[in-house]
Homo-oligomer: A and B are copies of this chain.
Amino acid sequence: MATIFDIAKKAGVSITTVSRALNGYSDVNEKTRQHIMAIAEELNYYPSAAARSLQGKKTNTIAFAPLLNQHVEAEPFFKEFTGVMALACFKHDLSLLVALVDTTRNVEEIYRELAGTGRVDGIVLSDIKPVDERINLLLRLGIPFVAFGRTTGYADLNYPFVDVDGVAGLETVVDYLYKKGHRRLAYLSGPLEMSYAFHRYEGFLRGLKSHELHEDKRLVIGNLQLPEQAYAAIKQIFSLPAAEQPTALVAGSDDLALHVIQAVSDNGREVGSGPDQIAVTGFDDLPFAAYLQPGLTTLRQPITTTCTALLELLVGMLKNKDELAPVLPELPGMVRVGPKQVLLIPELICRESA
A interface vs B, CB < 8 Å?
1, 44-54, 59, 61, 68, 75-76, 78-80, 82-84, 86-87, 89-90, 95-100, 102, 112-113, 115-119, 141, 287-288, 291-293
The answer to whether residues A98 and B95 also contact, given A46-B117, A79-B83, A116-B44 and a CB cut-off of 8 A, is yes
Inter-subunit contact B46/A116 (CB<8 Å): yes
Give the residue of B76, B89, B97, B102 whose beta carbon is less than 8 angstroms from that of A287: B76
Closest CB in chain B relative to A272 CB, distance in Å: 14
Closest residue on chain B to residue A51 by CB atoms: B54
Give the residue of B44, B48, B90 whose beta carbon is less than 8 angstroms from that of A118: B48
Closest residue on chain B to residue A45 by CB atoms: B116
Inter-subunit contact A97/B100 (CB<8 Å): no
Residues of B within 8 A of A100 (CB): 86-87, 89-90
Residues of B within 8 A of A68 (CB): 87, 90
Closest CB in chain B relative to A199 CB, distance in Å: 24
Residues of B within 8 A of A80 (CB): 79
Closest residue on chain B to residue A292 by CB atoms: B291
**8 A-B contacts (beta carbon < 8 Å):** A1-B116, A46-B117, A48-B117, A50-B54, A76-B287, A96-B97, A287-B288, A288-B288
Closest CB in chain B relative to A95 CB, distance in Å: 5
Q: Whole-angstrom distance between the alpha carbons of A90 and B97 in the complex?
A: 12
Q: Whole-angstrom distance between the alpha carbons of A54 and B82 in the complex?
A: 30
Give the residue of B59, B61, B79, B113 whose beta carbon is less than 8 angstroms from that of A79: B79
Q: Whole-angstrom distance between the alpha carbons of A116 and B53 in the complex?
A: 15
Closest residue on chain B to residue A90 by CB atoms: B100
Q: Whole-angstrom distance between the alpha carbons of A76 and B1 in the complex?
A: 37
Residues of B within 8 A of A76 (CB): 287
Q: Whole-angstrom distance between the alpha carbons of A319 and B245 in the complex?
A: 60
Residues of B within 8 A of A119 (CB): 49-50, 59, 61, 95, 119
Closest CB in chain B relative to A331 CB, distance in Å: 21
